[in-house]
Amino acid sequence: MASHEFTSVRSPRIKGVRRLAKRTFRQRERRFLAEGPQAVREALAAVNGGSGRSPYGGTAHGVVDVYATAEAMQRHIDLMDAAHTAGVPTHRVSLDVMSELTQTITPQGVIAVCEFVDVPLDRVTDVRLAVVLSHVRDPGNAGTVLRTADAAGADAVIFTDASVDPYNGKCVRASAGSLFHLPVVVGVPVARVIDFLHEGGAKVWAADGGGDRDLHQVADNGDLNGPVGWVFGNEAWGLPEETVRLTDGAVSVPIYGGAESLNLATAAAVCLYTTARQQRRS
């Protein structure tokens, strides 16, 4: 356990951590913040090879430092032990400093500085189920879709160059640690992603509320049995027509009640779990 306590936000080290809240500094240093015990636990598990699905598990790569209040260090001894096992330095900070480092109203007392985890597109191989986020701007939605993709057994989540930064604090929190579980690709044009998936033998479907194909019909026709890529678009206006034309078709989730539509995260969950079920049945 760390003996020294950081009590001033003017400390050069603390200033360096604080600036990672801004995208410019994150990209410059290729580091980001994972806030809360769940995110820190998953980050350390990936470093220690404990997740089994991590793209970099079992190496000394991933977590740079862990910062925690004295109370959090006592409450989350397992995290401190995991950091020690991974050779990750831990630093005790005051409540005031922790409040400055975190972006939540009620900080949970622990935060980690992590290296970027994204991989190049060509590192994504043997894809059975891939998720493509195109023009998705809300970090909470993006993080929730990432978490859902992980739960559904997806092999990769790809953030196109027009989508939100996956290292945004809200996105990282919404992913609930799933950011560390599966390959994430960042900043690739959507056309290139679709071509890549097609070249790998996958059918690529555009999730669109106005799609001319019904999700259940597509499933019943066997079009979800093989490798599949799903493209999800902007929360407000969906996918551009030119993007839809690059895919194998636009698919809508059937609505049997009076709701006008489904939000992005819910629609993604339905599409991904329907696909996962079909693939496992086949």
236-251 average pLDDT score: 93
Average pLDDT over the chain reads 91
Whether 218 has a pLDDT exceeding 70, the answer reads: yes
pLDDT at 106: 85
> Which pLDDT belongs to residue 49?
60
**pLDDT band at 61; cut points 50, 70, 90:** low
**Ordered structural domains, the chain, with CATH:** 5-115 (3.30.1330.30), 121-281 (3.40.1280.10)
pLDDT given at position 238: 87
- Using one digit for the tens of pLDDT, what is the confidence trace for 158-191? 999 989 999 999 999 999 999 999 999 999 999 9
In this prediction, residue 2 has a pLDDT band, given cuts at 50, 70 and 90, of low
Of 127 and 105, the one with more pLDDT: 127
Residue 56 has pLDDT above 50, yes or no: no
CA 93 to CA 68: how far, in whole Å?
A: 6
Please determine, for residue 53, whether its predicted confidence score (pLDDT) is greater than 50: no
- Predicted TM-score (pTM) of the model is 0.90
pLDDT in tens, 121-133: 999 999 999 999 9
Of 213, 216, 215, 210, the C-alpha closest to 261 is 210
CA distance 221 to 275: 12
Query: Given a cut of 90, is residue 73 above it in pLDDT?
Result: yes
Q: Give Cα separations from 212 to 178, 226, 249 (angstroms).
A: 32, 21, 8
- The mean pLDDT of 3-18, rounded to a whole number, is 90
Confidence of residue 211 (pLDDT cuts 50, 70, 90): confident
Confidence class of residue 54 from pLDDT cuts 50, 70 and 90? very low
Task: Please tell me the least confidently modeled range out of 13-27, 57-71, 169-183.
Answer: 57-71
The neighbour count for residue 105, using CB atoms within 10 Å, is 6
pLDDT of 50 above 80: no
pLDDT at residue number 191: 97
pLDDT class of 1 with cuts at 50, 70, 90: low
Instruction: Residue 3: count other Cβ atoms within 10 Å of its Cβ.
Output: 5
Q: Quote the pLDDT of residue 3.
A: 56
Tally the C-alpha atoms within 13 A of residue 41's C-alpha that lie toward its C-beta.
11
116's tokens: 């970027």
> With bands split at pLDDT 50, 70 and 90, how would you rate the model's confidence at 48?
low
Averaged over 7-26, what is the pLDDT? 94
In this prediction, what percent of the chain has a pLDDT beyond 90? 83
